Amino acid sequence: MKRYLRIIKNNLRSVFSIGSLCCTVIIFIYIFVVKFNSISDGHSFSEIINIIFRGPSNNDNLIEVFTWGLYQFFLIYIIGNFFFKELDRRSIYTLPRLGNKIYWHICLQITSFSVCIIYFIFGTSIMFICASVININFNLNGISEIFKIIGLLSLSSYYLITLYIFISLVSRKHNQSFLVLIMTLFLSITLGDILKIDKYLPFNQGILSKHIISNFSYQWSFLFLALIIIVNLIFINRIIVKRDLFQILH
């Protein structure tokens, strides 16, 4: 167990390098500045977080789309870079120590999910610091709502990451897989808005504005995403077990 925890710890250090941490801070400060005019005194901190992470209801509001996409796609990209480094270099050293590709895959998935949680907790902390520094009067009511939002954003992002890993294992291309995921996400946002089927589109579960407009609960999204993630993990595991990871990029 200690060996696996050490590997996961090293994985997290690799993902959260100094460069990626600095970019994360800059991104969340930028998002706070963009959303600042929507925040007023008297809001609870949970309401502030809801406003900041609300996301687009459609693709017409370009600023909202860009702001949401900035923090969402950066998270997917840094994990994608880590994943391909694992395939390209680190698996040569990690796999022999674990002795089993399934254990390597488990460490990879635990790392990915942990990164999502840490990322949004870190982002929420930055928002709290920014709001405090500029003396916005807010209260700390609704703490449980903040944890629900962080949990939903983390699970939704983790779903996207499992889908990205699956696509990249099939296509063997990092950037192309990333672009396919982005285009599919934007298409899903548009279809959900036009056809009013956001509740049944897995890509839209982590967009808070969709919950408000289409009136579906966080609990629905948690269950829906968990089921789809399990399916994705089964397919990913089958590919990893059957294929030679050392040759997957060639």
Q: Domain boundaries in the chain?
A: 2-247
pLDDT at position 66 = 92
> pLDDT tens across 131-167, in order?
888 877 777 778 899 999 999 999 999 999 999 999 9
Higher-confidence residue: 42 or 37? 37
CB 109 within 8 A of CB 233: yes
pLDDT over 70 percentage in the chain: 92
Closest C-alpha to 207, from 157, 146, 144:
157
Question: What does the block give as tokens for 206?
Answer: 């982590």
pLDDT over 90 percentage in the chain: 60
Distance CA 167, CA 184 (A): 12
Higher-confidence residue: 81 or 157? 157
For residue 127, pLDDT beyond 80: yes
pLDDT at position 52 = 93
Residue 3, CA distances (Å) to 8, 9, 84, 104, 245 in order:
9, 10, 22, 11, 21
Average pLDDT over residues 46-73: 91
Closest C-alpha to 207, from 189, 180, 232, 228:
189
Average pLDDT over residues 99-118: 89
